[in-house]
Amino acid sequence: MQGLALNEQGVKGIGDGTKTMFREPADFLDEYEFIIIKKLLDENKYDEATVEWGFIPKYQVSEVVYVQESFYETEKAYWYEEDVKKYNVDTLHYQVKPPHEMQEHQARYFLKIKSIKVERLQDISEEDCVKEGVVIAYDSSNSAIYNPIDDLDSDCQHRTAEDAFVDDIWNNLPYKAPYDWNSNPYVFVYEFEKFKDN
């Protein structure tokens, strides 16, 4: 089973159910290949895109993956970094391990890939921003505020879902040029459902 390494923000979104989608950069040979593959996926012709065009994303439709997150390993248990902060666990004698070191048996969340599409990063819709973990709230004047965490007191409030996605989700990932927002790279867009919790 493959792992999906996520930062603390992404893990929190999966835990509370606000995140049901993620993006990762995709390299295509040219614009023509992108147009063909996008059309096939939009028509649910995934097999044709895979067999005839060699479209092989990292994850596949119906595949179950486990979520990798920062964690502590003690003699008796695994502590996930999010819970360490939440429950004020003493980890003085243990070193935090990065997400990519987490193995399947240590994971607590498992996701099933429901669909895959390809697009330019800047083509993200408001609906997809919400699926990425942007939370819609309202200020005292009943105007919409967009935030990647459900916290009205946060300094990270934005007037558009796209701004919240760019500033507080995409820019918190380890992608730099040519995969930054301004470079507008091609991306794989994976929609998922939580398969089970450990």
State residue 152's pLDDT score: 44
Reported as a single tens digit per residue, the pLDDT across 19-72 is 999 999 987 768 888 899 999 988 988 888 888 888 888 999 999 999 999 988
**Is residue 119 assigned to a domain?**
yes
- Amino acid type, 11: V
**Is residue 118 assigned to a domain?**
yes
Give the length of the chain.
198
- Give the pTM: 0.85
What is the domain-level CATH number for residue 100?
A: 3.10.400
**Is residue 45 assigned to a domain?**
yes
Does residue 98 have a cis bond before it (omega within 30 degrees)?
Answer: no
164 φψ region: left (φ > 0), alpha (ψ -120 to 50), beta (else): alpha
